[in-house]
Each structure stands twice: as C-alpha cells, then as structure tokens.
Chain A
Amino acid sequence: MSRNSEPMQSRAAVLAGVAATAALCLWGALETYGFERAYQQQNRDPYMVEAQFARLAGIAATVPENAVMGYLTDAQDGSAGASAMLAGAQYVLAPRLLARGTGHEWVLGNFARPGDFAAVGRSHGLELQQDFGNGAVLYRHEAPR
C-alpha cells in the first residue's frame, strides 16, 4: 500500500464502483432528457419573441435599417412585461436601434392593449403612418427632425 494513498479496494469493488458510476450517469442523462423535454415544451417561447417577427414584419419592411427609432408603449415602465416587449422588438428590428421616447423621425408604437393609437400619437406630435395590428403601430413625426 502506498504511503500516500488510502487503503486500496479489491478488484471487484473497483469494477462495481466504476459500473455504478456509469449506471448513475446513464440514469442522470435519462432524467435530464425527460426533464428538459417537459420543461422546454411547457416554457415554449415564454416572451413570444418568435411571434414578433410576423407582428413587426411590416415595420421592418418600411423603416430603413440604419434608422434610430423612437419607442412608445402602454406597458408599465420598469415592469418585466415592458422590458420583454422592448427587448423582443429590439431583437426583431435590429439593426434598427430603438430609443425610448419620441425624439426621432420614426417611432415604434408597441402596445399591449387596444386603444386610439392615432390619438396617442397626436398627443406626442406624431402622425400615425400605419397600424399593423396586434398593437404594432408605426408613427412618423409630423415635421421630421
């Protein structure tokens, strides 16, 4: 027995230990597979980012890629929903840059609830360019800056 080592195991114990390790890993892999499949299925696109590609397709087709767009929303500032709406829209519309506020020629209206979007725009000095449905609205400044 090496002075530096703990007492050694028999060959059978070693083989059993190695086999048990491999068997435990196989069990773990199967558990992981079952968990992941169920988890991913139940949490399918929780922030609906994929749906934004279709929802914002008209805006992406209208606004040039190099534009910096203003951003208007009815979501409560600082809420998780507001963050998800902004981040999802930013991802889908990139390389256009979204900047909170209305101080740009093009402004994205990203609304969670129905409303009079034209009136909302007018209150910010914006002209409703097109309502693409599902709360996706494109505004333009009445007098472009």
Chain B
Amino acid sequence: MTGLAWVAEAVLLGCLLSWRWIGLSAIKPAWARVLLRAGAGAAGGMGLVSCLFFLLGVLAGSPAAAMVVELALLAWAALDFFRRRGSAPRMGVAAGRTPVLLAVSAVLVVAIATGAIAAGWQFNPLGNWDAWAIWNLRARFLASGAGLASRAWSPALGQMTHPDYPMLVSALVGRCWAFSHSVSPIAPQAVGYAFFLALLALVGGGVAALRGPVLGLLAALVLAASPALVHEVPAQYADVPLACYFAGAAVFAMLDEPIASGILAGFAAWTKDEGALFLVVFGAAILIFRRQAFSRAAAGAMPGIALLLVFKLGLAHANSSSLLASSLPGAAQRVTEGSRYGAILASFGRELAGLGVGWYHPVLPLAAAALALRFDRSRAREAAFAGVVALGLLAGYFGVYSVTSNDLAWQLQTSLGRLLVQVWPLLLLAAFACLRVPQLAAATPVPRKRKAAVKERRTRA
C-alpha cells in the first residue's frame, strides 16, 4: 500500500504546484480548470519527483535526501495553497452549460475502462515483457541503493534491456519502491493508471477550455474508449506516460502557457527516446505557429533536456542502444529498397485499424461527432498546430523504420501499435480543436425550407 501512497504524494505535490504556478484562473468551465490543473499536476508531479530521485537518490546516493526535499516542497506547497485559497481571481469568458448526461457518460466510460485495466492488473500484475525486462528491472536497480543503482544503465545488462533509455518511469517506480521498502507491483500499476487519468484530464480539460464543455467531454469520451490506449495501461510500459506528456505539452501550448508546455515536453524527452524526436517536432511547430512563445517553452523544457544529456552523454554513453544510431551503417542502401516502404505503409494501415476492437473503432465516435457538428474553419490554425506535431512524429517514426537495421517485420510488429497510441491523443486534439462548438450549431439560422414553412404557419394563424 505504501508504494501507492508515494504515487499519490507525487500527484498531490504536482497538483499543488500547478495550482500555484500555472495561471489558468481565466479558464471556464471550472471543471476544465480543475482537470487541467489535476492533469498537469499529476504528470508534472510524477516527472518532478522522478528527476529529484534520480539526482539526489541515485546520482548523489541519498534516497533520504530526495524524500526530505520532496516532503519539504509538499509542506511548503500545501501551506501556500491554504494561505492563498480563495484569493485567485475568477474571471474569463462565459462557457456553455455542461450537459450532465454527457458528463455522466464520461464518468461511466472511464469506470468501464478502469475495469478493463484492472483485468490486466489481476492476470498480469507484473505487466508485459518490456515492463519487467526494461522499465521495472531498472527501477529495481535504482531502488536498491548501496551503490548498486548504476547497474540500471550497466552495459552488462545487454542490448535487450536498452540500458541507455531515458529514466523518468524507471526512476519514478524505483523511488516508490525505495521509499516504501517494498517491491510491490502496485506502484508501477498505479503509475500507469495515474498517467492514463492525467492524459484524459489534459485532453478533456484542454478541449473544454479551448472549445467548450461539450467538445471537451466528447474528446475525453473518445479517448477513454480507445481500446489500444486502454490495453497499454496495465502493460506498465512508458508509452502511456509519453502520450500524456505529448498531449499535455500541446494542450498548454494551445492555451498560451508556454512554460508549462515546455516543462511537459522536457519530461517527454526524459521518458523515452521518442520524446527527443517530439522535442524537435514540437519546437518546430512552436516556431511556425507560436513563435513568440518559443523562448519560454524552451526554458521550460531545459531541465528535462539537461537531465537527458547528462544521462545519455555522461552516464550511459558507453552502452548506447539508440535505434537510429545503430541503424546508420547501411542506411543508404536500405532507403533505396522500395519494398520497405510498402511494408511500412501496410503495417501503418494494419495498426491503425488495430486501434479498435471487434467492430468498434475509436474513429467511429469521432466521425459521428464530425458529421453532426461539422468543422469550424476559423479554428484551422489550432488544429494544424496539434496536427503538424502528430504528423511530424508519424513521419519521424516512418523514417526510422525505413532505415532500421533490425528485422523490419519484427520491428513493426513489436512497436508500431504503441507508437500510434502515443500519437492518438494528439490526433484527437487536432480533430476536436476544429469541430464546431455545439451551442453555436444549435443557435443556427433555420434552413430556408423550414423558414418558409414557419412563416406560412404564422400567416395561417
């Protein structure tokens, strides 16, 4: 149980800090503000304590110091919260009414998704292969103290465990195990679930803040009812945390909160190698669409980038297993093989279809919403921002597959589905950003034929 308590503590710390530092007081409806602060708080808090534990508990060799700093920060943030409570200005534009039935549906779908995730916890409490062969294995080393933590990136582990992968998830789980003196699977399970809820909160709250409560709830519904995403949560991999950081960074950029956006983008880089590609694509998108926010977003991302560089260039330099680096020899020949592109495209098609289950595919509710609400072209720029980031990532993944020296079929089969899960929330964000707000659609002028009929009835009367 105490492992779970330390996950909760990280989330609470992040929520208090996000309440203190992220200026969302103008956001309406109020629940969107709460969701955004909770989502950013959960994701940011888990990222922050992971960094603190890696720096103080692992590199400085004192898990106790990491715990003391964390608890001191929590005490200060809690005190500050109670001192300032009620003083925050409540302003902003009026938001549409929140449809209660839709909110109830969203809660119901999240509850059902939780049931599906719980089946994974019940039958596979240690998660899937990469959980115990990579992420949680390294967490066990990091939690062991006594000078053994550096084994988490030891070349002796071999390429199979990718000892040079970024450490956010492993350090977070290792921290929970070290602080609780117990290697319980509840900690990594809770970490995965907390990131899943944070992702829903960030996408639902973000769309609600940008486009009103109905679209926000619909976005959360579609995301929570995405079978491939739900399937990845109990796997205890780093893909759901990464998806959360991708979506969070995009949401806060769209809400003109560049520092928060940058912090989450930096955490993405500290989560998985794909996060470094995200930094490049995201930075380019910010330069194109929101140039004035670039320097603040870059400043926010710096801590994550610095930690990544220290780890990659300093600690794990000798055992690099980077897919891109290992693929460079012979890449020139592989890029000229046309059959590879056909295989990659076919696999993209298969895995996109595989985001669903049975007859259900998460594109169906999205299509229903788009058909009913139609698109608001004045919002094309916002949609383009999230869309460019998502498509840039997909193009990057396509490029890596085209040069990989690993067996292409194996590489595609074992990774592409998870890569699409990382990008799926961004695609939803892009789609919902440009759907027409239902309140506006409801207040539409009556079509001509009906208008004439109404006029005729009035004349008769």
| Chain A interface helix/strand/loop/mixed | helix
Tell me the chain B residues, 76-109 only, with Cβ under 8 Å from chain A. 99, 101-102, 105, 108-109
A-facing mask of B101-145, CB < 8 A → 1, else 0?
Answer: 110010011001101110110111110010011001100110010
**A31 near B357 (CB under 8 angstroms)?**
yes
List A residues 65-106 near B (Cβ within 8 Å): 65-66, 68, 83-84, 86-88, 90-91, 94-95, 97, 99-100
When distances are taken between beta carbons in the complex, the residues of chain B under 8 Å from A29 are 108-109, 112-113, 116, 224-225
B360 touches A66 (CB 8 A): no
- Identify the closest chain A residue to B129 (Cβ): A47
Among candidates A25, A37, A44, residue contacting B225 with C-beta atoms closer than 8 Å: A25
Q: How far is the CB of B278 from chain A (nearest CB, A)?
A: 26
Within 8 Å CB of B376, what residues of A? 2, 4-5
Decide if B109 touches A25 in the complex (CB within 8 Å): yes
A8 to B445, CA, bound (A): 8
B160 touches A87 (CB 8 A): yes
Q: Are A6 and B116 in contact (CB under 8 A)?
A: no
A20 within 8 A of B: yes
Q: Does B447 contact A (CB under 8 A)?
A: yes
Complex alpha-carbon distance, A65 and B147, angstroms: 11
Given A14-B438, A31-B227, residue A4 in contact with residue B378 (CB < 8 A) = yes
Shortest CB-to-CB span from A107 to chain B, Å, is: 14
Is B369 at the interface (CB under 8 A from chain A)? yes
Q: How far is the CA of A43 from the CA of B113 in the complex (A)?
A: 19
Q: Mark A17-61, 1 if CB is under 8 A from B, else 0.
A: 110111011111111110111011101110101100000000000
A91 touches B358 (CB 8 A): no
Q: Is A1 among interface residues, defined by CB-CB distance under 8 A?
A: yes
Residues of chain B in range 125-174 having any CB-CB distance to chain A below 8 Å = 125-126, 129, 132-133, 136-137, 140-141, 144, 146-148, 151, 154, 156-158, 160-161
Residue B441 is within 8 A (CB to CB) of chain A in the complex: yes
CB of A13 within 8 A of chain B?
yes
Shortest Cβ gap from B302 to chain A (Å): 32
Contact pick for A28, options B102, B146, B231, B360, CB 8 Å: B360
Residue of A nearest to B125 (CB): A50
- Closest chain-B Cβ to A17's Cβ sits at a distance in Å of 2
A60 shortest CB reach to chain B, Å:
12
Asked if B362 is an interface residue, CB under 8 A from chain A, the answer is yes
Is A65 touching B140 in the complex (CB atoms < 8 A)?
Answer: no
Q: Which residues of A contact B362 (CB under 8 A)?
A: 28
3 residue pairs, one from A and one from B, having the closest CB atoms:
A17-B372, A8-B444, A95-B144
Please, could you name 30 A-B residue pairs with CB atoms under 8 Å apart, sorted by A? A4-B376, A4-B378, A5-B376, A6-B375, A8-B374, A9-B374, A10-B446, A11-B441, A11-B444, A18-B214, A21-B365, A22-B105, A24-B364, A24-B368, A25-B109, A25-B222, A28-B226, A29-B109, A32-B227, A35-B358, A40-B119, A40-B120, A47-B129, A65-B146, A65-B148, A66-B147, A87-B160, A87-B161, A97-B156, A100-B158
Could you list which residues of chain B lie within 8 angstroms of chain A, going by C-beta atoms? 99, 101-102, 105, 108-109, 112-113, 115-117, 119-120, 122-126, 129, 132-133, 136-137, 140-141, 144, 146-148, 151, 154, 156-158, 160-161, 214, 218, 221-222, 224-227, 230-231, 234, 356-360, 362, 364-366, 368-369, 371-378, 436, 438, 440-442, 444-447
Interface residue ranges, A against B (CB under 8 Å): 1-2, 4-11, 13-18, 20-22, 24-33, 35-37, 39-41, 43-45, 47, 49-50, 65-66, 68, 83-84, 86-88, 90-91, 94-95, 97, 99-100
